[in-house]
A and B are shown apart, each in its own frame.
Chain A
Amino acid sequence: MEYQKVTDVSATCNGNIVSELTCRTGFAELSIETTKAAVQHFNETSRKEAEDESRLPILEAAYTTILRGLGENTDRQGLLRTPLRAAKAMQFFTKGYHETIYDILNDAIFDEDHEEMVIVKDIDMFSLCEHHLVPFFGKVHIGYLPNKKVVGLSKLARIVEIYSRRLQVQERLTKQIAMAISEALQPAGVAVVIEAAHMCMMMRGVQKMNSRTVTSSMLGSFREDPKTRKEFLTLTKSA
């Protein structure tokens, strides 16, 4: 039933994943298919690294169509290899689909008798707006109250990387990061705040250069106890 909750949030990939999960209410119903047997977790990715190379020609052709449709001359020197470069760049910007949480977190969880807040702030984040395919970037601040288990600090930044290198919506990104930490560590509470600038608002549309979008996700004691939340927010406020 936890799984059910999270599917609503993180089923960003194929519809296949969602339907597979609704079958998992009982072992009796579980059907094991060889391709899906490798699935460890609801965060199964829809893309494996080996597939990237094979997809490049399709992406290149698509980018060539786009360049021509925009009225550019694809034979001029500066644009000759642009479809290839743009395809590779786009694959890099969506490499979060390759990776799963358990790949990176498996070994870096430690038992420590620490119950005070741990904060990692000012994690630079770059993502792609799923509505316009234009970047948005900003900073992520993560805090959690460990419950006998702490995680390697860089792993928090890696969690941010996995979820941000996808086609995203800032609200969903914030929630996914919080849920991932929550599931991996079972801490007393998790807080994630993201402050980002959206190029789809800066470069086009309303064209407001200095606007920033702030989203937050508070779970556990950060949600219930206002003082804990306040401490976190004070500590992550940059002077």
Chain B
Amino acid sequence: MDRSKQKQLLNQNEKQTTSVVGDSSVNGHFDGMAKMKSRAGLPLAASGETSGQSSGAIESWREERTRSLEDNEMSLPSIASAYTTILRGLGEDPQRQGLLKTPWRAATAMQFFTKGYQEKIIDVLNDAIFDEDHDEMVIVKDIDMFSMCEHHLVPIFGRVHIGYLPNKRVLGLSKLARIVEIYSRRLQVQERLTKQIAVAITEALQPAGVGVVIEATHMCMVMRGVQKMNSKTVTSTMLGVFREDPKTRDEFLTLIRS
């Protein structure tokens, strides 16, 4: 597993250097892209992950998976024994009937909650990009989203609303939901999640504009800490026309509210 990860690291570093050059030709009027280009030039500290750094977002189109199904199987025993340690550390008895197989269930569950690391955007989009002569707004709203807070390892759940203005190319609608799935099933911060979804759609379609709004409840705020039951966190990313033209943004925000 170490060797495969090292190989992935090498591949990723190589691909980074090539992708920076390649991306300079992408639509120039995305401010987000311009900023990220310079950051992507910096060498990433030897890390096997692709979701963490914001410069990782620019490589979403080409990113390597950090995890495979074999990796999952091989790491399951160590994660399960870590959970057994946790159960003991909390004062519970891991041998009682209800907890006997809990370490394995919890480990499998946690791997499911982070399965976004196993998937690539390219695989998911599956050539579902079509040429249509449509240049009106397309919105997919109320996409249920479940993620894990990277600070407390506690769930975040909410809804994602995505809108984009196609530029001769439209995307299969479920693919928008699948992009949400890939990025949300990771250890995330809501701001980064919003941006990653927006950038992925931008890279895939080169639309005239993309807007992503996420409204979520953070269990780390509801179940512990301040314990505010009804609080919601709203983040948004507007790229292209959505950022520049207030009327477009307005239309988008009105339509997702109704």
Contact = CB atoms under 8 A, between A and B. Distances in A.
B49 A86 contact: no
Contacts of B114: 70-72
Interface residues of B, number: 58
Interface stretch (B90-98, B129-137, B167-175, B233-241): B90-98
Considering residues B89, B99, B144, B153, which has the most beta carbons from chain A within 10 angstroms of its beta carbon? B89
A47 B109 contact: no
B102 A131 contact: yes
Contacts of B117: 70-72
Contacts of A184: none
Interface string B75-115: 11011011101111111110110110110011101111110
A47 B224 contact: no
Interface string A41-68: 0000111000100010011011101110
A222 to B, nearest CB: 27
Considering residues B67, B91, B102, B114, which has the most beta carbons from chain A within 10 angstroms of its beta carbon? B91
A145 to B, nearest CB: 30
A76 B95 contact: no
B90 A135 contact: no
A97 B88 CA distance: 13
Interface in A195-232: 199-200, 202-204, 209
B122 interface: no
A209 B146 CA distance: 10
Contact of A70 (B111, B154, B157): B111
A89 B49 contact: no
Interface stretch (A8-16, A27-35, A113-121, A174-182): A8-16
Interface stretch (B18-26, B28-36, B215-223, B250-258): B215-223
A69 interface: yes
Interface in B148-185: 150-155, 157
B44 to A, nearest CB: 10
A169 B97 CA distance: 12
Contacts of A70: 67, 75, 79, 110-111, 114, 117, 187
Contacts of A65: 78-79, 81-82
Interface of B: 45, 47-49, 52-53, 66-67, 71, 75-76, 78-79, 81-83, 85-93, 95-96, 98-99, 101-102, 105-107, 109-114, 117, 144, 146, 150-155, 157, 187, 189, 219-220, 222-224, 229
8 contacts: A58-B89, A70-B114, A71-B66, A71-B117, A76-B45, A132-B105, A133-B109, A134-B109
